[in-house]
Every structure is written in structure tokens, then in C-alpha cells.
């Protein structure tokens, strides 16, 4: 089934909120606990979006920013060539725009999700937790669909486990955003500033 980027990014937020800085060394347990916590936040604060959308977005942002390795993800989205050619200021500006676009565009979508259930698929081989990069699989179950999710998380030492990519229902979000960046760059004669000005997560897949 073809998902729109609206649905993908709504799922991205639900998935991403599975992470935060923590001493938890088991990424599967960490994701499972935080997933249930975030679903509860979304459900119990659904009325807040109508009365104070700014406050609702801030609740998401407070959790979201520490969950994702935005510097690594941003570099991946830009691609090696564009990242290398970009100035330090351009790199930071894109990361900020990328992060803000996800938050602002899809906080409203998150508010529309009703009853949800998240199931973690626990690994048969616990020794895989010793790796610095781990794939964690879950199923997001809504009233109408079930979405398989694979999180690629990296152990960043003192920062704990952080998201570096998510694949939702077969859609690789990191690759999708990278393709979008390259398309915008091509349309704007490789002008990175123009890509930053025109960046939006609101596209169809």
C-alpha cells in the first residue's frame, strides 16, 4: 500500500518518540517502554492541540529533540557531496530546518491518531545488543491498519541510543528525504541555500 508522507511522518514521530537519553542499555526494552509512554502522551493530550497547539507541539519537541541523532541524519539526507560542499553554517541551518519542518508539519497529524497499540518484536539472539548499531522491529496497530516498523538505532556512548533511520511499511524515510534533497538541489542548480529555503517534508511517496 502506498503511504503518503503525511502518514509516514506521523508514524515517524510515534516511532521516534520511542527514544530519549537514558541509561537503559537494552535498545529493545528502551524502545518498548518509551513507545507505550509516547502513545499515552498523544492520546491523553489530544484535546490540547485544539485549545493550545503550540503547547501540544512543545510536548512533542521536548521529547523528540533528544531522540534523534539529527547531525548524523542531516548529513545522511544531504549526502556526502552536498554535506562536504556545504559550509558549517549551511549544515546547521539545514538540520534546524529539517527538524522544524517535521515538527511543525506533523504535530497536527499526530493529534488525529486515535486508539493505538505498539508491539515490540523481541530478538531471539540477545547478543545482537552488543553491536553499536541495532535494528529494532515493532508493529504499530491502529483501528484500520498495521504498520511494520524497523528502527535503526546507534549507541552514541554518553548520548545513549539514538535514531539514525526508520523504515515504515517498506518506506525508507532516510532514503526518501535524501532523494528529496537531491531533487531540490538539481532544481536549484545545486544551490544549497535554495534547498534550505524550499525544504518541506510535505511530499508524497
Rounded CA-CA distance 99/50 in Å is 23
The residues spanned by each domain of the chain are: 5-198
**How does pLDDT run across 6-57, given as a tens digit for each residue?**
656 666 665 555 444 444 678 888 778 777 877 777 778 878 877 998 888 7
- Rounded to the nearest angstrom, the gap between the alpha carbon of residue 134 and the centroid of all alpha carbons in its chain is 16
Residue 141 is inside which H or E element, if any? strand 133-141
Our measurement of the distance from residue 113's CA atom to the centroid of its chain's CA atoms, rounded to an integer in Å, reads: 17
Q: Domain 5-198 in CATH: superfamily?
A: Tgt2/MlaC (3.10.450.710)
Query: pLDDT by residue (tens digit) across 147-181?
Result: 898 989 998 887 788 889 988 888 898 898 999 99
What's the whole-model pTM score?
A: 0.78
Give the span between the Cα atoms of 22 and 20, in whole angstroms.
Answer: 6
Give the integer Cα–Cα distance in Å for 199 and 194: 8
Amino acid at each position: 500500500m502506498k503511504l503518503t508522507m503525511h502518514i509516514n511522518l506521523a508514524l515517524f514521530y510515534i516511532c521516534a518518540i520511542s527514544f530519549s537519553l537514558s541509561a537503559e542499555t537494552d535498545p529493545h526494552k528502551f524502545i518498548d517502554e518509551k513507545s507505550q509512554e509516547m502513545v499515552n502522551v498523544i492520546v491523553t493530550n489530544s484535546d490540547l492541540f485544539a485549545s493550545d497547539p503550540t503547547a501540544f507541539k512543545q510536548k512533542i519537541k521536548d521529547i523528540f529533540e533528544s531522540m534523534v541523532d539529527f547531525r548524523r541524519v542531516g548529513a545522511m539526507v544531504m549526502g556526502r557531496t552536498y554535506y562536504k560542499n556545504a559550509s558549517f553554517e549551511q549544515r546547521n541551518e539545514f538540520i534546524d530546518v529539517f527538524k522544524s519542518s517535521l515538527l511543525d508539519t506533523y504535530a497536527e497529524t499526530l493529534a488525529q491518531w486515535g486508539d493505538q497499540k505498539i508491539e515490540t518484536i523481541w530478538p531471539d539472539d540477545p547478543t545482537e545488543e552488543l553491536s553499536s548499531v541495532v535494528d529494532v522491529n515493532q508493529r504499530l496497530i491502529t483501528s484500520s491498519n498495521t504498520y511494520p516498523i524497523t528502527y535503526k538505532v546507534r549507541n552514541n556512548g554518553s548520548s545513549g541510543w539514538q535514531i539514525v533511520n526508520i523504515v515504515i511499511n517498506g518506506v525508507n524515510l532516510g532514503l526518501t528525504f535524501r532523494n528529496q534533497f537531491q531533487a531540490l538541489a538539481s532544481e536549484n542548480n545545486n544551490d544549497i541555500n535554495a534547498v534550505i529555503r524550499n525544504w518541506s517534508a510535505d511530499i508524497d511517496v
